[in-house]
Every structure is written in C-alpha cells, then in structure tokens.
Structure 1
Amino acid sequence: MASRIRKPSPPTKPLVKQRTQVGKLDATAVVGELRQLHEDAEDPSVERMPADNETYSALLYAEKHASALRRLPPERQQQAALKRVQLWQYLRERAEIHQARAVADARAAGAEWQQLAPALAVNAANAAYNKAKRLKAAAWMEDAPGAEPVRRTPEAVAATEQRLSRERAAERRAQEAAQRRHQSLMPVAGRLLEQRSGLVLDEDAEYWLDEVAEVLSSCSTPTQMVSLSRYLSAAVRALGNAEKRLALPAATTNEAHLALSAAVAFLEQQSVQRPPSQ
C-alpha cells in the first residue's frame, strides 16, 4: 500500500499545542541533588564543585567527575545522569530566550542584521533575521505563559507581531477614549453639584451626591474616575426616582435643569461608547 504523503503545514498556521519543554525548573535544587549524589559516592573532589546556582559550571564538573559515582548502585548513577540531561535541556531552552532578548537589545542599539550574522552563527543578514524570528517565538512563550503557541517560523512570528501590534493599538485607542470621557466627566459632575440647591432631593439622591462630592475633590486615578462615573449615575437615577415618586420636577431652577440634563446626556453617551466588557 502506498504511504500517504504528508503535506507541509503553512508557515503561519498556528500550532495546535505547546512544544514539550522542561519549562520552569528549580535548577538550583536539581544541582543540589546532583551534589548530594557526588557526596554520597564520596567523590574526593566534591569540594571543588561549583555552587548550586552556577548551573553551567556545576554541569561541567559533574560531567568531568561522572566516574566518581561508580561506587553508587546503578540506579543512582542513572539518576545522576538523568539530572544532567534535564539540566542541559533546561539551559538549552533558557539560552534561546536570553539570546532572543540579547538580539532585541542589539537591534535597539542600532546593530544591523549583517553584524548579527556571525554572532548568531549564520552566514548572511537574512539568515540572521530568520533565526532571530525563530528565537523570538521561544521568548514569547516565556513572557506570556498560557498564550497561543507560535510556530517557530519567520512568517508565523511576523504574523503574531502584526496581531499584537493591532491589539496594542486597539487597547491604546480604548484607553485614550476612556481618558477623554473621564476628562468630560469631572466638569459635568461639578456643574451638577454647583446646582445642588436647585434640585429636589430625597435621602438616596442626597447620599449619592455626597459620594460624588467626596470623590470629585481628589479625582485623579482611573479607579477614582470609574467610581465618580458610578456615583454620578446613581445620583441621576435617584433624582429620576424621586421625581416620579414625588410628582415634582427634579430641578426647580433653569440652571439646575440644564446641569441635570447635561449629566443625563453624558451618561447616555458614555453607555453607548463603553465597550461591552466593561
């Protein structure tokens, strides 16, 4: 029976699952366990073994003095060798992440791809660019754990960069729009408070206007802005309820009526412009 020919995946197609990796590892603890095995084997040179936080140097020592473990049972010798394998894999994964960051710093400092080629052990500027893109995929997985896996191809990384750029731009626009709304909020709330004596207030309206006044006196942070918006909304709602219950206009002066109308219009506009998730 003829074997099926597997079609190559498109270079920008998302990965279905994460690459299998060692990932997060307490390397210091693993080196400590490796040291203990050498001590148990009465390695005569164990005092010269580098500190537990010097993973690379400790691994070189363990490799050089692996014969000192022959006094241990075979299963413990195997355990030591497997720890070395695990630590080398961990260093390999970490090296990609830190090399990607180093490349980014070099580019930020003005280094050309042709200059980076020998440092990345490639022969041309385009090869350096492609290798850096593949490294960047590994760095993303470190910086955003749980994010959608990125295929380690220049095309997939470029597509992800474009998507992230669009998301950041959309977030920036949303923040700017929120800031504009907040800047309009304070004068609307202040104007309503100035006309407080021209409003028909019940206990609820009094309470919420007091809250508005307290927050407005020192309103500068995003959290305070959100609180001010909520308190103003509650005050306007309470004024509307009092108007219905008492069968009296909520505003007794033209200035108070204009201030209340402005607050109602602002809150309605804010409700229309606010993203659904808020």
Structure 2
Amino acid sequence: MTMRRPRKTPAPTARDTRPARETPEEQPRVLAARLYELHREAGKGEPYLERWPGDAELFGVLTFAQQYANQLKGEAHRKAAVLRMQLAEWLRLAADPFQLSAIDDARAGGTSWKEMALVLRYLNRLGEPNPGSAMNLRKRLYVAVKGRPGDRRQPQVAHLIDRRAMEARIAEAQFIAAGEARYAELDAAARALLKHYEAGEIHADPDDDGFWWEQLTEAVDDRRSASERANLLVYVRGVVRETRAYSKRSGKPPAATEQAGSILEAAARLLDLDADS
C-alpha cells in the first residue's frame, strides 16, 4: 500500500504584498447606458422606461434597475445584475469622500471615537462600542480618498500617505529655497533670453506654438510670492531645452549671434543642464 504524499499548498499571500483592488474599468455613465439599453430592448416601449433617471444619476439608476430587475429575463437579467454590481461599487467609492469629511467634522466638533463607534454600530461581543474600529474606518477612508490608486485600504497605509505628504512639503520647501537663493541670477537670465529672442537672435521652431516663451514672458514680471519666483526656474529651463531641441532637429545653431549664444549657455550652466539636456 503506497502512502499518499501530503499535498503542498502555496503559502498565503501577505496582505501587504497583495495588489490593491482596482476600480471598475468602465465609467458609471457607460455602465448606466448599457443597463438602460438592456431594459429598452426588453421593454419594447413599456411605460416604466419613461421613469429612467438619466445615466448621471448613479443612485437613481441603481434604485430603478433594482426595482425593475424582473422585467428582464435570462441572459439580459444576468448582464443587468453584473452592471448593477459594478454601479454599486462606483456608488460606494463615490461616498468615501463624504464619509471621511463627515467623520473629520464630527471629530472637530468634539465627537468621541466611542460615540462614533456606537452610531456606526461598531460593537464588540458584549455589545459595547469599539472606538478602535471607528478609528480604523477613518484611516481606510483616508487611504481611499487621499492615497494613490495602488494603495491598499488598510489602516496602516494611512501613515504612509502622511509621510508622502510630509516629504512633498519638504521637497517643495527645498525647491522654493533654491529658487530664492538664485532668483536674482534667474531673473537676469530670463530677461536677457527674452531680449535676444524678441530681437530674433535665438532661433525658434516656426511650427511651434511658443508655449515656453509665452510662459516666460508672462512670468518674468509677475513674481509676487516665493513659490512663483521659484517657478521661474521651470520656464527658463523650458525655453533653453526647447531651443536646443530645435537646433538638433533643424541643424541650425541655437543662436544667430555670439552674444545670444553666450546668454543661452550661461542660462544652461545656471540650471546645471548639460549639453544633451
């Protein structure tokens, strides 16, 4: 008698490593329109179709489709049920920002987590409110509303989002500080570039819409805040890169005069742009 070898089952995937569940591929309006077509084809002018709420009324569409679900038979009934399921998922996602805002307003108004748990019916086995469950709900909503598409709706991910926000604020502060430190040089470079561009001494693609030059023209005299002054770097970089790109495409030198060429090179050095940038 041969003994059976125990079957090896794959180890369960840790929650942190599983991919996040994505939103439905099709938008609510598309799903609602398909649902209406199923009813229209089956209804053949039935009076109830006149009460269709419109493709944009998500809750109304779901209410209508559920109320008249039995008007459809066979495969149409099955397809409609799947569409309703997807629309309900969209409705749940659409409600997340409202519930998060309501929770935050309630907390700001003095509502305790215990009271919130009682209202939301987060109870333990003894029927007592569980404040931790209410807190975790808030964290999951925070991830859903403030997180990235790939973030899992788990309480611990909320801290990751806060850390990202802090890192973004630090990066922005560093960007502004760097812009402030060399604003005088950037301002001088921007004005010199515009002077030679308007004189026709810096070559530009005649088929281009001149976006970066227009932005630089508008920005150079409108630098009220530190953030706006820091953004001047973006526009100077844009015109230098665009000029170099056109020079490579056309085979022409980037500037028609030696002085204009020197201004371009000085701006590139100020921005730490190499020759290939």
When the two structures are superposed, what TM-score results if normalisation uses the length of structure 2? Answer: 0.58
**In the alignment, does 2:169 pair up with 1:168?**
yes
Task: Work out the CA distance in 2 between the residues paired with 1:227 and 1:38.
Answer: 54
Q: Counterpart of 1:134?
A: 140
Task: Work out the CA distance in 1 between the residues paired with 2:174 and 2:33.
Answer: 50
Q: CA deviation at 1:174?
A: 2.1
Pick one of 50, 53, 56 that aligns with 2:56: 53
**In the alignment, does 2:68 pair up with 1:62?**
no
Q: Equivalent residue of 2:20, what SS?
A: coil
Q: List per-residue Cα deviations over 1:70-89 (Å, max 9, x = no partner).
A: 4xxx2222222222222122
Contact 1:38 1:46 in 2 (8 A): yes
Q: Counterpart of 2:181?
A: 180
Q: Counterpart of 2:152?
A: 151
RMSD: 4.6
Task: Work out the CA distance in 1 between the residues paired with 2:39 and 2:236.
Answer: 65
Q: List per-residue Cα deviations over 1:108-165 (Å, max 9, x = no partner).
A: 6665434533454423332211111112222235xx44xxx22332222213322331
Task: Work out the CA distance in 2 between the residues paired with 1:132 and 1:36.
Answer: 38
Pick one of 28, 41, 44 that aligns with 2:43: 41
Larger Rg computed on CA atoms: 1
Q: List per-residue Cα deviations over 1:77-112 (Å, max 9, x = no partner).
A: 222222222212222233335433443454566654
Q: Counterpart of 1:18?
A: 20
Q: How many residues align?
A: 222
Task: Work out the CA distance in 1 between the residues paired with 2:47 and 2:152.
Answer: 47
Contact 2:113 2:131 in 1 (8 A): yes
Contact 1:69 1:77 in 2 (8 A): yes
When the two structures are superposed, what TM-score results if normalisation uses the length of structure 1? Answer: 0.57
Task: Work out the CA distance in 1 between the residues paired with 2:83 and 2:109.
Answer: 38
Q: Equivalent residue of 1:17, what SS?
A: coil
Contact 1:134 1:153 in 2 (8 A): yes
Q: Counterpart of 2:210?
A: none
Q: Counterpart of 2:88?
A: 88
Contact 1:133 1:153 in 2 (8 A): yes
Contact 1:37 1:80 in 2 (8 A): yes
Structure 1 pair 130–45 and aligned structure 2 pair: CA distance change class (3 A): same
- Write 1 or 2 for the structure with the bigger share of helix: 1
Q: CA deviation at 1:182?
A: 0.9
- Structure with more relative contact order (C-alpha pairs < 8 Å, separation 6 or more): 1
Structure 1 pair 7–37 and aligned structure 2 pair: CA distance change class (3 A): closer
